[in-house]
Amino acid sequence: MPDTKPMFERVALIGIGLIGSSLAHAIRRQGLAGEIVISTRSSETLKRAEELGLGDRFEPDPARAVEDADLVVLSIPVGACGAVAERIGPHLKTGAILTDAGSTKASVVRDVAPHVPEGVHFIPGHPIAGTEQSGPDAGFTSLFEGRWAILTPLPGTDPAALEKLTAFWTACGSKVDTMDPAHHDRVLAIVSHLPHIIAYNIVGTADDLETVSKSEVIKYSASGFRDFTRLAASDPTMWRDVCLANREAILEMLGRFSEDLAALQRSIRWGDGDALFDLFTRTRAIRRSIIEAGQEVDAPDFGRHPEIAKPGE
Ligand SMILES: NC(=O)c1ccc[n+]([C@@H]2O[C@H](COP(=O)([O-])OP(=O)(O)OC[C@H]3O[C@@H](n4cnc5c(N)ncnc54)[C@H](O)[C@@H]3O)[C@@H](O)[C@H]2O)c1
Ligand SMILES: O=C(O)C(=O)C[C@]1(C(=O)O)C=C[C@@H](O)C=C1
């Protein structure tokens, strides 16, 4: 038993997929909770979470799970947040912090805020860390290490609650930034949502070709295409909800993307080597800047190498 008091007496994790289970591992390792209570929609997933020993208590009913919890984290598809908030709202303890891990923020604020009782600190959040895997077996302790967690506090947020949630993500290994929800959604539209949409599309296109067979696509897939297939293997429910929830920003970025793609297409058709070379030089510099900024650029191969899936365990 650690001799210091945990940061939270009771943490309720609602949703125990990749993000929820990674949080459970990180909370355990850092001793951040006296008790971890887990609730999720399907009884099979809840049973699996219990088998994996991810929590101390397992509650099919989210309303019971959040009772007396000091921190409640929703790690569920963004489209489900409103209904779950409605269910748990009346059972949240005064003074509790309610947060989430959703990939979009304006929709979560819109759907969750109306159900948050006075005296509960609702601070939306988003760890910019993940893989294409999902479910309770996919989580690992180091997922958040060295990665950004973005918090999007609402006007009037209690500074002490924000400080505590910041300390929580820091203890999980993250660097923390705060941002306005709408700005978060535009930034993530270009750095995360569009890359996934492009990946889904290119893999779908390859699958639809008449002149190249599916077996040739699989047999000769070079590493560039394989990188796209990793993203395109991400959870369909999660990404359906992201596309629906962040429609405006995604359509704005897709519009820009399509214009730029048309210009690139024209350069290729007209044999404009200088234009191609200039663009490719500019984009190469972006990757170099990411590396210089100390951001991890290559996704670890966790899914295919389970032996490195749970580092430090
Ligand atoms: N996967 C990533 O790379 C990643 C990264 C950062 C944030 N996120 C966000 O975190 C959240 C969780 O993503 P994940 O990757 O852990 O997903 P996941 O599919 O691995 O897990 C989702 C969990 O939510 C539960 N769930 C689904 N619908 C529910 C409902 N209606 N009510 C209650 N529980 C429900 C499932 O049973 C499961 O336990 C999503 O909002 C996602 O946008 C994902
Ligand atoms: O690396 C991946 O596989 C991810 O999809 C992680 C990723 C991302 O786009 O970077 C996906 C969605 C998130 O909300 C945050 C992180």
Give the pLDDT band (50/70/90) at residue 298: low
> Does the beta carbon of 12 sit less than 6 angstroms from any atom of ligand 1?
no
- Ligand 2 pocket (Cβ < 6 Å) reads 103, 128-132, 192, 234, 299
pLDDT value of residue 3: 59
Architecture of domain 184-269: Orthogonal Bundle (1.10)
Kindly provide the ipTM of the predicted complex, given to two decimals. Answer: 0.98
Rounded mean pLDDT of 24-34?
Answer: 98
- Residue 265 exposed, middle or buried by CB count within 10 Å (0-12, 13-18, 19+): exposed
- Taking the CA of residue 195 as reference, the ligand 2 atom at the shortest distance is 9
Cα separation, 259 vs 272, in Å, equals: 17
> Does the beta carbon of 41 sit less than 6 angstroms from any atom of ligand 1?
yes
Of 79-88, 177-186, 205-214, which gets the smallest average pLDDT? 205-214
86-134 pLDDT per residue, tens: 999 999 999 999 999 999 999 999 999 999 999 999 999 999 999 999 9
In the chain, ranges of CATH 3.40.50.720 domains: 8-179
Phi and psi at residue 154, to the nearest 5°:
-90, 160
Give me the CATH topology for the region 8-179.
Rossmann fold (3.40.50)
Mean pLDDT of the chain: 93
Ligand 1 centroid to residue 263 C-alpha, Å: 37
Give the ligand at the shortest distance from the Cα of 18. 1
- Taking the CA of residue 241 as reference, the ligand 1 atom at the shortest distance is 43
250-282 pLDDT per residue, tens: 999 999 999 999 999 999 999 999 999 999 999
What share of the chain in percent tops pLDDT 70? Answer: 93
Cα separation, 280 vs 24, in Å, equals: 42
Q: Which of 74, 128, 243 should be mutated for ligand 2, with most atoms under 8 A from CB?
A: 128
In the chain, ranges of CATH 1.10.3660.10 domains: 184-269
Cα separation, 184 vs 106, in Å, equals: 8
Q: Which of 212, 215, 241 is nearest to 77 (CA)?
A: 241
What amino acid occupies position 204?
G
